[in-house]
Amino acid sequence: MLEIHFFKLGDLDFVNFQKITSLINSIDNSVLNAVSHDKSLIIDYSTSKYFSDSYVHGILSTQPIDIFKTVIRVGITQAPLEDNFFVRSVGSNCIALTLFQTKEIYTLANRTVEEYIVISLLPHILWTIYKSHKHTTDYLDLFHLETKGCIFDLTAYKPDKVFKIKKPQLDSECKSKLLEANIEPQIIIAIEAFLNEFAETKDVSEKIFFEKTSKRTPTNKTKLKAFLCHASGDKPAVRDLYNQLTEYGIDPWLDEEDLLPGQDWRLEIPKAVKSSDVVLVCLSNKSTNKAGYIQKEIKYALDVASEQPEDEIYIIPIRLEECDVPEALSRWHWVNLSQQNGFERLMRSLCIRAESKQRLQPSMKAI
């Protein structure tokens, strides 16, 4: 029996710890048992100052537990953690989780804060067991940089984080690693079943994100407007992207489709950039290594981006092939369409942008 003890590190009145323990115990209470402690271990603290690993471990490791039981201590706080992680292993059988700047993630995922906490913790609970069996401290032995929608994805990209909370799953490769580490199969099977059931608990008609299997698309009458910024040499690839976006309910703007005979393209293109909800900057070695009108289009987009709220998705660099991302665009995380899940990741970002536009423009409906 593995016991998970939850401790409050500061004021967390908006979190229902009984719900957290109930969710954990619903996985399989014959192998996992969650216990919450009501009293906060920290009274006076500031969310503007981060908690170091050693500080959190020092607090958690001193809490009395039954030495005859296998126990994982979990500290939950609103203060930032070291290196801006959302969840960290901070020592032997100790985990820290922060709710600092996470509300948007679980809100967009249509989850409660308690559900967010449980889904975020499960991979770290498994990791704590795994590293004790394998005698390793290297996160990448189990976590992976490749984005698969798996609970072991290591990603700082907000749409991927939202999707992981929305539709959590255990990748088959990670499951095999856990089994090979001689972790009790009942724990792995129970957690996988919990994740599968959890992923289906929300009404599918309310889904925010694109799913490859169902190919859900924006259903609003006012479609998301996406400007396709590109070099003329990339026209075939961009035309394919235009067709894909159109198929999935996006309203893309492409010069050869949207410029009318007699219109002055030097006037129409800046207008199209300004009226678009999002600008997709299509990059290749053809566009990044030469001067051309694409550079002016990027400048138009950057000017409009400066007027957007800082946390809004407006410019999305798209790598059509392996190429460098221009310095002017380096602050925005790019997507690589040559990767297997590249288009799916792009759609997740577009869905988040559409959701944002719903808040700004009531005529927009959820995706």
43 and 168 fall within a common domain? yes
Q: What is the pTM of this model?
A: 0.59
Distance CA 114, CA 171 (A): 23
**For the ranges 70-74, 160-164, 219-223, 351-355, which has the lowest average pLDDT?**
219-223
In a domain, 216, yes or no: no
* Model pLDDT, residue 298: 85
240/187 same-domain check: no
Q: What is the mean pLDDT of residues 350-356?
A: 80
The neighbouring-strand residues paired with 81 are 51
Does 167 lie in the same domain as 46? yes
Reply yes or no on whether the pLDDT at 248 is more than 60. Answer: yes
Q: In terms of domains, do 234 and 346 share one?
A: yes
Query: Which pair of tokens denotes residue 360?
Result: 């700004």
Average pLDDT over residues 78-101: 88
231 and 330 assigned to the same domain: yes
Which CATH number is 353's domain given?
A: 3.40.50.10140
Question: Given a cut of 70, is residue 216 above it in pLDDT?
Answer: no
Beta bridge partners of 95: 74, 89
- Residue 15, pLDDT above cutoff 70: yes
pLDDT computed for residue 214 by the predictor: 38
Query: Are residues 50 and 192 both part of a single domain?
Result: yes
Q: Is residue 207 part of a domain?
A: no
Tokens encoding 185: 């199969």
Per the structure, the count of domains in the chain is: 2
At 34-61, the pLDDT tens digits run 998 878 888 666 555 788 889 999 999 8
Q: Is residue 366 part of a domain?
A: no
Q: In what order do the strands lie in the sheet with 70-77?
A: 32-40, 2-9, 70-77, 94-98, 87-91
Both 178 and 63 in one domain: the answer is yes
For residue range 122-137, list pLDDT tens digits in order. Answer: 999 999 889 888 888 7
Write out pLDDT tens, residues 268-306.
Answer: 888 888 889 999 999 988 777 666 667 788 888 888 888
| 272 and 157 fall within a common domain | no
In this predicted structure, what is the pLDDT of residue 87? 92
Range of the domain at 230: 225-360
Same-domain check for residues 107 and 237: no
